[in-house]
């Protein structure tokens, strides 16, 4: 039996949900685990899908850029491939997928540094690469980071001295200004800096520490550390901008800086010694209601308020994203933040902020590459959470900005000089940054159905293209569960949470259940009375059952609902995959099995042997987690229970269960096409062996398991859900928390 102390060793925040998506852990002991087969791993294409706080262009080589994400790691743009390349798939540490900062070497294009750490309570490190992120050296830091915490859009916090390139600075959230003199290997706090930080254990107070470090390259002497450095601070204090003119030996608060509730969030220095800074009254990405844009002449000390919109009335919101044109002093682009009504704006100036152009007014979006950005509307939104803006230092017409769901780019920025229109397109090929909550691979129709966090879900007709079939009518924010009728798989149901986007049907009282009769290509909402959290459909597709304080059943597509009789409060029914009138429900508190043979209208308790006396510890605490009782596709009366106490199997409709010993701790279980020469489906699992959390396959009904992912395909071990393909033997889909959907297939063997 697996002890809870052992369980804590491999659990990651939001990392293991079965699915489809469960955190229940099955204990399986001591059988042989076979040799790892050769698998090919790829992403199912959605096209971005999450928050990317910033883009950093290389100043050493044209066509080279890096993208940092809050929970999906770092990407490099490859001009040769015309795609973004994920750079952390071989890293096993989950926390390193929350990126706090990037510093690309301004001289050597092969060298890049990354500050990686997702939450204050988790490990943090500096990653150093000398081959553009193909391989990494990892140096754990004594200070913590917060790459997926409030304030993750500020920056850049990590800075490389362009003169002495062994010297780096990092503006910590919790431990002041840090410095490394050996290319990121060892770090110490700059004791002369006046803000020492509160330590990560005090992070709950809301401090987010230093927001950026800007080094003035014109202040250095060749081979010597740069003398002039600017550091922004967001903590509550009288001063928020500091400068050093002696390479960090001493610091002074910059005189004349903006006061009040505004804090500096982004800054860049141009070639004329002008420091441009965006300010907000919070660090975002939410909760900002005021802000401004300022320029500071580092030579004269003169400040100028250059905020594009000043006075009243003006829409609430602040500013964050900022980029200076490296080829045109006085030209820059800034982004508003949390300007929800009428929407966020990119502003551009070519005269140092005396006049501004509203780029939103000149723009349209072509989202052919990511159709989900339409959200069921005729036109895509300009964006929100626009924390990052970047003008290509080699091409003044090429600019990109990040949003809460995608990265937009254009080659037409200079059209604004003539007031001409600008077309923006998603710059996302290769970026897959979604939190995947549930996956289903039905026996007909699209090979894959996905439920995702924040962007509803999809029917994936073509795994290599962003799907045109987003789950709409209604759009959910999160799609937590998808089920199909075992004998009529065109009939589908799903459950989730109301959309936070301005989509039809969103808002208070919006439906959280829906059904489809055409393999997820169109949907109809369901609105039973009472709170619901899950839904299942009978094998013939006639009956829908929902979990409520008392489970409900409908036989007329939701026009009327009848309480199911004979079930304990909070029971979660599931449908038999073959028998149309049969449903099961397992009371985890008592390990009691309840069975209905009249389409879910009435249930009776069934004597069931072989399960532990209680499975109370396996009660899911979130709708994203699949119930531990699972019915096997294509086999009537065939049930599995995934629990901390073990992996249990029944072939007699739950009258008896056998505990399996397969050599791994099973955390998530799914079924795929039977192996050649066999009739029983192949099993797929997310599971633990020793200290390795991995993806597994069993070809012998769980008696033994083979690991099917390898070292280069660990994805931070941020696995959430799994689904085998019933039509392609060996193919398995895995939902991650931040790296989208990956799928694996056995590599073809050479004859």
CATH class label, 54-426: mainly beta
On the question of a common fold for 4-23+434-746 and 54-426, the answer reads yes
Q: What is the mean pLDDT of residues 217-244?
A: 89
- pLDDT value of position 200: 78
> Which numeric CATH code is attached to 4-23+434-746?
2.130.10.10
Q: What is residue 50's three-state secondary structure? A: coil
Task: Judge if pTM exceeds 0.75.
Answer: yes
Return the domain boundaries, the chain.
4-23+434-746, 54-426
Instruction: Kindly list the catalytic residues.
Output: 70, 454
What is the arithmetic mean of pLDDT over 719-744? Answer: 98
According to the model, what pLDDT value does residue 204 have?
57
Using the structure block, give the residue that is written with the tokens 């490859």.
78
Residue 584: strand pairing partners:
574, 595
676-696 pLDDT tens trace: 999 999 999 999 999 899 999
Q: Is the pLDDT of residue 623 over 90?
A: no
What is the average pLDDT across 531-551? 90
pLDDT-based confidence at 25, cuts 50/70/90?
A: very low
What is the average per-residue pLDDT within 107-126?
Answer: 97
pLDDT of residue 32: 43
31-45, 58-72, 209-223, 468-482: range with lowest mean pLDDT: 31-45
Residue by residue, DSSP assigns 283-340 as -SSS----EEEEEEETTT--EEE--SS-SSS--S-EEEEEEE-TTSTT-EEEEEES-T
Judge whether residue 665 has pLDDT over 80: yes
Q: Residue 79's CB: how many other CB atoms inside 10 A? A: 11
Radius of gyration of the chain measured on its C-alpha atoms: 27
Higher-confidence residue: 618 or 414?
Answer: 414
Structure tokens at 699: 């070809």
738: pLDDT confidence band, cut at 50, 70 and 90?
very high
Q: Which two tokens stand for residue 684?
A: 């797929």
pLDDT band at 749 (very low <50, low <70, confident <90, very high): low
pLDDT tens digit string along 349-394? 999 999 999 999 999 999 999 999 998 889 999 999 999 999 999 9
- How far apart, in whole angstroms, are the C-alpha atoms of residue 399 and residue 386? 13
- What is the pLDDT at residue 748? 79
pLDDT in tens, 544-568: 999 878 899 999 999 999 999 999 8
Confidence of residue 190 (pLDDT cuts 50, 70, 90): very high
Average pLDDT, stretch 395-402? 98
Query: What number is the average pLDDT over the span 508-528?
Result: 90
């Amino acid at each position: 039996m697996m002890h809870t102390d052992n369980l804590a060793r491999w659990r990651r925040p939001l990392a293991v949900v079965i699915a489809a998506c469960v955190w229940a852990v099955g204990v399986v002991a001591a059988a042989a685990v076979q040799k790892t087969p050769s698998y090919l791993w790829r992403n199912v294409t959605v096209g971005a899908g999450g928050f990317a706080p910033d883009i950093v262009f290389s100043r050493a080589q044209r066509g080279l850029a890096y993208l940092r994400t809050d929970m999906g790691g770092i990407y490099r743009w490859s001009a040769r491939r015309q795609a973004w390349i994920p750079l952390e798939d071989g890293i096993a540490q989950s926390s390193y997928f929350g990126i706090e900062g990037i510093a690309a070497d301004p001289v050597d294009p092969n060298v890049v540094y990354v500050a990686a750490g997702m939450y204050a309570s988790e490990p943090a490190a500096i990653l150093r690469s000398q081959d553009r992120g193909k391989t990494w050296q990892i140096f754990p830091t004594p200070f913590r980071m917060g790459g997926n915490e409030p304030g993750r859009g500020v920056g850049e916090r990590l800075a490389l001295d362009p003169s002495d390139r062994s010297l780096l600075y990092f503006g910590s959230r919790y431990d002041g200004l840090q410095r490394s003199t050996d290319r990121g290997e060892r770090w110490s706090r700059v004791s002369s800096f006046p803000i020492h930080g509160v330590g990560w254990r005090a992070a709950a107070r809301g401090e987010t520490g230093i927001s950026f470090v800007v080094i003035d390259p014109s202040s250095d002497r060749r081979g010597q550390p740069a003398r002039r450095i600017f550091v922004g601070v967001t903590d509550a204090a009288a001063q928020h901008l500091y400068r050093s003119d002696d390479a960090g030996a001493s610091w002074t608060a910059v005189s004349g800086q903006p006061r009040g509730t505004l804090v500096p969030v982004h800054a860049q220095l141009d070639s004329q010694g002008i420091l441009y800074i965006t300010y907000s009254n919070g660090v975002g990405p939410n909760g900002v209601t005021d802000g401004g844009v300022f320029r500071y002449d580092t030579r004269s000390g003169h400040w100028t308020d250059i905020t594009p919109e000043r006075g009243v009335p003006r829409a609430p919101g602040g500013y964050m994203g900022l980029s200076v044109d490296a080829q045109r002093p006085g030209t820059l682009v800034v982004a508003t933040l949390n300007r929800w009504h009428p929407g966020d704006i990119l502003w551009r100036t070519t005269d140092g902020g005396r006049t501004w152009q509203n780029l939103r007014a000149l723009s349209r979006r072509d989202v052919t590459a990511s159709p989900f950005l339409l959200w069921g509307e005729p036109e895509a939104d300009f964006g929100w959470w626009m924390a990052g803006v970047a003008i290509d230092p080699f091409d003044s017409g090429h600019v990109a900005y990040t949003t809460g769901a995608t990265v937009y780019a254009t080659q037409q920025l200079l059209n604004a000089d003539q007031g001409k229109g600008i077309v923006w397109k998603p710059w996302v090929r290769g970026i897959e940054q979604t939190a995947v909550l549930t996956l289903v691979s039905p026996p007909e129709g699209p090979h894959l159905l996905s439920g995702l966090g924040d962007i509803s879900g999809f029917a994936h007709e073509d795994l290599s293209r962003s799907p045109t079939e987003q789950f709409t009518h209604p759009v959910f924010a999160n799609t937590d569960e998808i089920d199909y009728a075992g004998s009529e798989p065109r009939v589908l149901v799903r459950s989730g949470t109301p959309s936070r986007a301005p989509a039809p049907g969103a808002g208070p009282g919006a439906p959280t259940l829906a059904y489809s009769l055409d393999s997820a290509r169109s949907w109809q909402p369901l609105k039973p009375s009472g709170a619901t959290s899950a839904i299942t459909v009978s094998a013939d597709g006639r009956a829908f059952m929902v979990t409520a304080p008392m489970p409900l059943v409908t036989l007329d597509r939701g026009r009327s609902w009848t309480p199911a009789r004979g079930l304990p409060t909070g029971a979660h029914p599931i449908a038999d995959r073959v028998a149309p009138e049969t449903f099961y429900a397992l009371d985890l508190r008592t390990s009691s099995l309840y069975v209905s043979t009249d389409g879910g209208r009435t249930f009776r308790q069934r004597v069931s042997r072989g399960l532990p006396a209680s499975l109370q510890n396996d009660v899911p605490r979130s709708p994203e987690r699949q119930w531990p009782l699972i019915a096997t596709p294509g086999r009537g009366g065939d049930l599995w229970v995934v629990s901390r106490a073990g992996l249990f199997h029944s072939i007699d409709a739950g009258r008896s269960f056998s505990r399996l010993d397969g050599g791994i701790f099973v955390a998530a279980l799914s079924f795929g096409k039977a192996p050649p020469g066999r009739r029983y489906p192949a099993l797929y699992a997310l599971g633990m062996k020793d200290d390795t959390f991995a993806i597994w396959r069993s070809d012998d009904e769980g008696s033994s398991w083979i690991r099917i992912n390898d070292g280069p395909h660990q994805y931070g071990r941020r696995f959430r859900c799994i689904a085998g393909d019933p039509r392609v033997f060996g193919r398995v889909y895995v939902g991650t928390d931040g790296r989208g959907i990956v799928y694996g297939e056995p590599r073809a063997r050479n004859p």
